[in-house]
A = this chain, B = another copy of it.
Amino acid sequence: MPGFASYPQLSFDEFVEALEQAVPSLPRQEAKLAQFVLLNLNTLGLETGKSLAARVGVSEVTVGRLLRRLGCNGMKELKELLRQQYTVASPAPEARQGVHRALEQVMEAEIGVVTAVFQQTTGADWERAGSLLSQSERIFITGFQSVRGIAEDFARRLSLARGNVSYLSPHDGMLAEWARIEGTTPGSDCLVLVDVVPYAREAIEVARLAREEERACIVVSDEYCHWSRGIADAVIYAPSRTGLFLESTVGISLALSLLVDAVAAAHPEESRERLLQWKAHAKRLRIF
Q: A residues within 8 Å of B by Cβ?
A: 20, 23-24, 26, 28, 31-32, 34-36, 39-40, 42-43, 45-46, 55-56, 79, 82-83, 86-100, 103, 106-107, 110-111, 114-116, 118-123, 145-154, 156-157, 160-161, 198-202, 223-227, 229-231, 237, 239, 241, 244-246, 248-250, 252-254, 257-258, 260-261, 264-265, 271, 275, 279, 282, 286-288
Query: Bound complex: CA of A57 vs CA of B239, how far in Å?
Result: 15
In-complex Cβ contact of A92 among B20, B111, B229, B271 (8 A): B111
Q: Is the interface of A mostly helix, strand, loop or mixed?
A: helix
Whether the Cβ atoms of A230 and B24 lie closer than 8 Å is: yes
Whether the Cβ atoms of B107 and A160 lie closer than 8 Å is: no
In-complex Cβ contact of A114 among B43, B110, B230, B237 (8 A): B110
Q: A91-B115, A97-B123, A106-B261 are in contact. List 12 more A-B contacts (CB 8 A).
A: A23-B229, A23-B230, A42-B86, A46-B82, A46-B83, A95-B119, A97-B120, A103-B258, A110-B114, A199-B288, A248-B254, A249-B257
Whether the Cβ atoms of B115 and A92 lie closer than 8 Å is: yes
Max chain B C-beta neighbours (<10 A), residue from A36, A107, A110, A201: A110
Max chain B C-beta neighbours (<10 A), residue from A26, A99, A148, A279: A99
Tell me the smallest distance from the CB of A67 to a CB of chain B, in Å: 16
In-complex Cβ contact of A93 among B45, B100, B103, B154 (8 A): B45
Given A122-B100, A145-B156, A199-B288 in contact, is the A271-B258 Cβ separation under 8 Å? no
* 18 CB-based A-B contacts, threshold 8 Å: A28-B226, A40-B223, A43-B87, A88-B96, A100-B118, A100-B121, A103-B118, A103-B258, A106-B258, A107-B115, A110-B118, A114-B114, A114-B250, A148-B156, A149-B149, A160-B246, A201-B288, A246-B261
In-complex Cβ contact of A201 among B43, B161, B286 (8 A): B286
